[in-house]
Amino acid sequence: MTGKIVKRGFDPGDSKNFSSENIKKLMIAQEEVQWLLDRGYKIKPIIELTGNHHQLSARARSAVQRTTSSSADCEKRKSTMLSLEYAKEGCLFIDGFNLIINLEVALSGSPLLLGKDGVLRDLAGLRGTYRLIDKTDIALELIGKTLKELSVPMVKFYLDSPVSNSGRLKSRIFECSELWGVTVEVELIPNVDGVLSHMERIVTGDSIILDECKSWFNLSKKIVEDNIKDAWIIDLH
């Protein structure tokens, strides 16, 4: 693994975007966004309206959007979330980039966002580009450690094949997982969202998948809370 230190998801303006003063402003904006979502308004015009009103930066607007869902969506996601005590009862199907990048961001000291649905999300915004960094192996070690603690018998990682270096990450997952004591499969597919949305026992923080899948585990939150005590978590509610 490269020795170069990379801060995944870092933005030099975050100390200002998420200062204590701006957090108060974002909390108000989030309340307004959810109120409108609950009444059937679409998210994009809501974010533009509230963002303009509160003079939010583009990154702050993204934070509000990624942490806010309608009350109905939040309740639906909570109803399909499985307790981690059931993780040992079968295979977990993992949204690979989603989980690994989330942990890389936490390990980098970059902001993680706690959504109203209880899910941790990041602002890395890689958009089809990915490369292994100095935090990748650590993230994989923490995944393996947690899977062993939960007595998970098998996991299957799904990686989006169009994303750069997906093949390298697949190889790295296999290399690191040799010490996990867990059966591991990794599959490269064109559209991870489309596949996982119809399945159960999913591990992801992707809202689109969470709204459609049959059941899911909030694994990233457990890993961060148990192992990355200094993670920068922004909770707007």
Q: Is residue 7 part of a domain?
A: no
- 75: in domain: no
Q: What is the pLDDT of residue 190?
A: 96
- Sign of the alpha-carbon dihedral angle for 131, 137, 139, 140: positive
Residue 181: give the domain boundaries.
82-235
> Which regions in the chain score pLDDT beneath 50?
2
Claim to verify: residue 119 and residue 171 sit in the same structural domain: yes
Q: What confidence score (pLDDT) does residue 27 get?
A: 96
- Count of positions (residues) in the chain: 237
Q: Number of folded domains in the chain?
A: 2
In the DSSP assignment, the letter for residue 188 is E
The 216-217 sheet, strands edge to edge: 183-189, 154-160, 92-95, 202-203, 216-217
Helix (H, G, I), strand (E, B) or coil at 135: coil
pLDDT in the model for residue 125: 83
Q: Rounded distance, CA 175 to CA 24, Å?
A: 44
**Domain boundary at 22, 46, 68, which?**
68
Q: Is residue 89 one of the residues assigned to a domain?
A: yes
Token digits of residue 162: 């169009």
Give the predicted TM-score (pTM) of the model.
0.95
The CATH number of whichever domain residue 158 belongs to comes to 3.40.50
Dihedral, 10, 12, 14, 20 alpha carbons, nearest 10: 140
